[in-house]
Amino acid sequence: MVSRRCEYGIRASILIARESLKGNRINLRLISDKIGSPLGYTTKILQSLSNEGILLSRRGPKGGFEIAPEAMETINFHGIIMALDGGQIYSSCGLGLSECSEDHPCPIHEHFNLVRADLNAMVKKANLLQLAHGLINGKTFLNTSKKNTLIKDKKV
């Protein structure tokens, strides 16, 4: 549905959001560990998200990544997709036609309308505060293996 890059980006953001809500900054090594992404690749993704102002980063000992809690409601799945993949993923034609539109629809255009609408609504509705709370409440999970991903508070 989205690129792997985006998948890692969203997973990382949700994890960082959770830690930020607990008052912790979390570093790259720990992030790639917890979300099961390649460290060197994850670096690039987090850099992009930092440059876009979605994450705050801090170098040096006790450094790492965080997200301002007051920004979490504003940052949604959509924003992260835009930052990492650019705009055209779910806005463009399902058959890749450049001239597809309501007036000049491709054969599956109408069939896709509902899906496209739901998708657009969904990516905007899913914000980081919500998503991080799901993790905190134990209702959702980020791990690949079922082992616990909890990090002791204040002791990153």
Partner DNA sequence: TCTATTTAGGACAAAAAAGTCTTTTATTAT
Partner DNA sequence: ATAATAAAAGACTTTTTTGTCCTAAATAGA
Task: From the list a copy of itself, DNA, none, pick the one residue 40 interacts with, judged by a Cβ distance below 5 to 8 Å according to partner type.
Answer: DNA
Q: Concatenate the DSSP letters of all residues of 9-65 into one string.
A: HHHHHHHHHHHHHTT--B-HHHHHHHHT--HHHHHHHHHHHHHTTSSEEE-STT-EE
Q: Concatenate the DSSP letters of all residues of 17-28 into one string.
A: HHHHHTT--B-H
Is 41 near DNA (CB under 7 A)?
Answer: yes
**Residues 53-82, interacting with DNA (CB under 7 A):** 57-65
CB nearer to a copy of itself: give 59 or 146: 146
Rounded to 10°, the helix 39-51/28-35 angle is 110
Q: Which residues bind DNA (CB under 7 A)?
A: 3-5, 8, 27-29, 37-41, 43-44, 46-47, 50-51, 57-65
Q: Which residues bind a copy of itself (CB under 8 A)?
A: 1-2, 4, 7, 10-11, 14, 77, 89-90, 94-100, 104-109, 111-112, 114-115, 118-119, 122, 125-126, 131-132, 134-135, 139-146
